[in-house]
Amino acid sequence: MTEQHEAPSGVSRALQKDIPQATVARLAAYLRVLAMLADDGVAIVSSEELAVAAGVNSAKLRKDLSFLGPNGVRGVGYDVVKLHTRIEDVLGLSQGHRVVLVGAGNLGRALVGYGGFQRRGFSVVGMFDSDPEVIGREVAGYVVGDVAELIGSVAALAPTIAVLTVPDEAAQDVCDRLVAAGLQSILSFAACELNVPGSVEVRRVDLAVELQLLSFETARNAAAPAEAALSEVVHAVSSGRIAHRVPPSHAAPAHPVLKHGRTSTKHSTTSHSATEPSSKGSVV
């Protein structure tokens, strides 16, 4: 990558556009791990170590980092601080972000009091609500402003991102106010879809959907041992390690002529096959 192809922040604009969304999400995970390693004084990390800590395989990690250009030294690893800085640049975090939060309810209070945002480059600069009983009160060091004055306040605070923690019925109105004030990046915790111009990016966090996904994973993991046991039984049956016999208590009395000779053997074989389950089409 040549210098003339890079944006003022040091990152190629074309490079940023070419990175898949799934890779961007994993870069954020790598950044979190690298920050913890840096705090612990770790200077070099291998791709295998970073991959395990981030919960991905090393091949996928190396492919993700290949979007950032040359990184690391073969046989040595990645410089933790340099890679952390590089990912910050790509994610647009090197300059930091100013955030306004609209909705001073339980969720909004919890978010504004979370110290991790500041450590990751997100500074909350204002909090707003429409409840007269909440407006003017102090929450986590911020005086709650009136949503009615949101447009003027946004001009003064110059935020780059807005977070919505308002009820669904109020979300679109607040969103419209933010867009009118010039905000182009909105994170919404409302379950409803927000209608915005094409130039505005909206990310929606639906906690109910996340819980449903966890429910699915829990159900699937619970079913895995039973499926594995069934698979083992089917394999044992099909490989002949488990014999198939009709229980004596349910077998019909044998005719004297079937007790000896080839006819008896043939009939026994036929009865045996009739009770044997086939491994074809089995659900494992």
Q: Is 108 annotated as a binding residue?
A: yes
Q: Is 75 annotated as a binding residue?
A: no
Report yes or no: 162 and 186 within 8 Å, Cβ to Cβ. Answer: yes
Q: Is 157 annotated as a binding residue?
A: no
Q: Is 106 annotated as a binding residue?
A: yes
DSSP of 155-173, one letter per residue? HHH--SEEEE-S-HHHHHH
Q: Is 107 annotated as a binding residue?
A: yes
Backbone angles phi, psi at 41, to 5 degrees: 80, 15
The amino acid at 241: R
Q: Is 258 annotated as a binding residue?
A: no
CB atoms near residue 162 (< 10 Å):
26
Annotated binding site for NAD(+): 103-108
Annotated binding site: 103-108
